Structures are given as C-alpha cells and as structure tokens.
Structure 1
C-alpha cells in the first residue's frame, strides 16, 4: 500500500472517485467531438466506432498511465477530416469547441444534481457517515475536474481544443505560420504537465480558477434550491 501511495498521484482511497469522474468527463468530451463531426458531414469518427459513449473506445493506454502517476492524462483524439465539412473553418471551430463545452455542461449538471440532493436531504451534511462523505467527495471531484478540463482544453496549445479553435479562427496566412510550431507541441505539453515550475504558471492558475468557479456555482444552485452550504 505504501508503494502504491508513493507511485500514484491521487490518494489511494480517493482514486476510484477520480477514475469514475475522469472516465465520464473524457468519454463525453470525445463523444461530443465525434458526434458533431459526423453531423457536419465527416464520417471518419463514425466509421472508427467513435460516435459512442462506450469509454473503452476513447481511452488511451499512455494517457491512463500518466493520469495515475502524474495526475493528468488524455483520451484518444477523435480523427477528423475537415475537408468533408461544407464550411471547414466554421465547422472545425464548432467541433473543437463542443469538447470543452461538454465538460462545462457536465460540471454545471453535477452541481445542480448535488444541490438538489443536498437540499432535499438525500445527501446529508458532510461528515454524517462514510457513505455520505464518499458521495460529497465524488460530487466535488466530478464538478471540479469538469470545470478544470473545460478551462485546460481551451488553452491555445496543440493538441488541445483551444489551439484548433484558434487555428481555424485566424486568417489562413496566420494559421499557416502557427502550424509551423506544432512539431514542438508534445514537448511543451509534457513540460507543462510534468514539471512543477511550468505547472505553477499554467496548471495551478487554471485549477484555482476551476475551484473558485465550482464553489460559486455550487453555492448559487444551493441558494436557488432554498438553502446554503454548511
């Protein structure tokens, strides 16, 4: 157990909650990309079986390993052929944007469900029993992770969705210039994820923003349902 605690990024007793929350978040995120790409006329993802909510087809082995030991990973990117779109630039922006948007909506939905269950007494105040504590913990993890994933994926760095949005929003000449830097993207991405120095200026501010956002939205929904958080 001590070895696992040292190896894993998340506390061992909390790991199941993080895994369930991330499985849902990653699956819905990638499904959203695949679904809208198919709707806009590109069948690439559908032909590969990606227009599905089956988590198994969306997960990447290396992404899962890094998730467990480094705290952050990724799912398998959805292959998209923008040339199949009737309006490649506009539809590519939408297809890229629906991924982070899906995480935002999951976070909001999670907060709303939590608030309703909390105010109706189905979820008692935190600390009553171990089961109640587990439910509180899961909802807080689920909401926070989805808000964080929404913000993180909007960073304009390949291979993140924010970069795809920027790439297609810029004039073609400027888009071609930034594409030259894509060869360095994986190195930069790994530096941001793995090195504390870079995390302090990227991951940490995004995490803090996601935490503040999740707290405010939770408080807002609980007030709307007639109460307040203890």
Structure 2
C-alpha cells in the first residue's frame, strides 16, 4: 500500500473517533456549566453533537493531520472551547472544578464505549464478520484518542482542564499565580509536544491506560 493510500486509510479510521472525542468533551463542559447556572454555551448553540459547531481549523484538522502524517506516537487534537462565564455559576470556585472535570469524564465514558465497539467487532457472527475489522480498528482509535485527551487535559497547566481544576482547588495566592500562566499555556504545550518531552513524561501512563482498555476489548 502506498504512503498516500495508507494515510487516507488511517485518516478514515481516526476521523469519527477524533471528531466525537473532542465534540463530546466540549459539550460536557457546556452542559455542566448550564446545569450549574451559566447558560452561555446553550444560548450560543454549542450544546450540540454537530461537530461543525466545534471544529477549530488548526486544532481539529491541521494538528491531528500533521501528527498522523509524521507518524507521531502521540496523536492530539482539540475543538473550539465552549464559552463559560464562570462568574455566572452558582458557586464559581467549586463549579469551575466541576465544569473542568466534565470533559475528561466524558472522554473516560467514550473510552468504555469504544472498548465495546472493539469487543463487538471481534464477536460478530459470520454474515457480519466483514465489518468486524473496521469496527476493531475504529474501536482501537477511539480508545487511544480518548485516553490521550484524558491524560493531556488533566495536565495542571491552564487553560487545560487540569489547570482549571488546580486553580479552583488551590489557595487564593497559588490559584492567582497559576491562572497567570493561561495566556502562555498552549504555547508551552505545543513546544512540549513537538520536542517529544510530553511523550517521554506521559507515555508510560498513556500505555498503561490504553492497554487496560485494549485488554478488555480483546476478551
């Protein structure tokens, strides 16, 4: 198979898992914010599973495509963050934590969903067996992208979810100091990603979680 054909095949397998991983992640943030008193995301039409509403040209399309093209061991992507007015939450400091953690929790649930897809792909009866391999490949892709998003987003650097959790839980002085990192957070993370530092630090945890779900899916 040519490199171009292999790239197109890989892209086709990963497209749906990546789009839904980042879309459901953002919807989870907006839904919890709405339930905790801030309707901003709901009023702006962001509480939808339509990926078009959430696509970021660089984070959703270009960045994952570049990483796939260069065979990166650490595929990553992100959507446009849902708008949240933290001042409108019922209890801003506590609810900020709940809104932030909702995204990784959604990815955890999706990892279990794709594990089920993987398992079903290996247990289809004869007449349906021809779709088993695509289901298994997509299940593996879904597990990997959601595990990556769980681990990546829990890094305690704003504006990632782990950073917002830390800002919400730390004492006031430390919380303010950490929040000042937010304008530079993505620059720091992109540098860490492309220099390989991120993989060297988070790779073992990713492999542990990924293998856990793959083992269940292979039963």
TM-score tier after normalising by the smaller chain length: 0.7 to 0.9
Taking the aligned partners of 2:126 and 2:117, their CA distance within structure 1 comes to 11
Please tell me whether the aligned partners of residues 32 and 102 of structure 1 are also in contact (alpha carbons under 8 angstroms): yes
- The equivalences for 1:1-230 within 5 A come to 4=4, 11-63=7-59, 64-70=61-67, 71-116=75-120, 118-119=122-123, 121=125, 131-196=131-196, 198-219=197-218, 222=219
**Cα distance change, pair 200–51 in 1 and its aligned pair in 2 (3 A):** closer
**Cα distance change, pair 3–140 in 1 and its aligned pair in 2 (3 A):** closer
How many residues get paired? Answer: 211
| Stretch of structure 1 that moved more, 200-209 or 180-189 | 200-209
Residue matched to 2:70: none
Q: Deviations over 1:59-78 (max 9, x none)?
A: 10111211111242210011
Taking the aligned partners of 2:78 and 2:24, their CA distance within structure 1 comes to 13
Note the residue ranges of structure 2 that are not aligned, 5 or more in a row. Answer: 68-74
Please tell me whether the aligned partners of residues 97 and 168 of structure 2 are also in contact (alpha carbons under 8 angstroms): yes
**Cα distance change, pair 107–193 in 1 and its aligned pair in 2 (3 A):** same
Q: Deviations over 1:195-222 (max 9, x none)?
A: 22x1342353343233222224325xx3
TM-score normalised to the size of structure 1? 0.81
For residue 120 of structure 1, report the CA deviation from its aligned partner. 5.5
Q: Which has the larger radius of gyration?
A: 1
For residue 112 of structure 1, report the CA deviation from its aligned partner. 2.8
Please tell me whether the aligned partners of residues 123 and 132 of structure 1 are also in contact (alpha carbons under 8 angstroms): no
For residue 53 of structure 1, report the CA deviation from its aligned partner. 1.1
Taking the aligned partners of 2:31 and 2:201, their CA distance within structure 1 comes to 30
RMSD: 2.5
TM-score normalised to the size of structure 2? 0.85
Taking the aligned partners of 2:97 and 2:9, their CA distance within structure 1 comes to 39
Please tell me whether the aligned partners of residues 192 and 203 of structure 1 are also in contact (alpha carbons under 8 angstroms): no
Please tell me whether the aligned partners of residues 122 and 136 of structure 2 are also in contact (alpha carbons under 8 angstroms): no
Taking the aligned partners of 2:148 and 2:179, their CA distance within structure 1 comes to 26
Q: Deviations over 1:41-88 (max 9, x none)?
A: 101111211111111111101112111112422100111111111111
Taking the aligned partners of 2:15 and 2:8, their CA distance within structure 1 comes to 11
Note the residue ranges of structure 1 that are not aligned, 5 or more in a row. Answer: 223-230
Taking the aligned partners of 2:137 and 2:15, their CA distance within structure 1 comes to 13
Taking the aligned partners of 1:201 and 1:191, their CA distance within structure 2 comes to 13
Task: Return the structure number with greater helix share.
Answer: 2
Residue matched to 1:225: none
Please tell me whether the aligned partners of residues 167 and 175 of structure 1 are also in contact (alpha carbons under 8 angstroms): yes
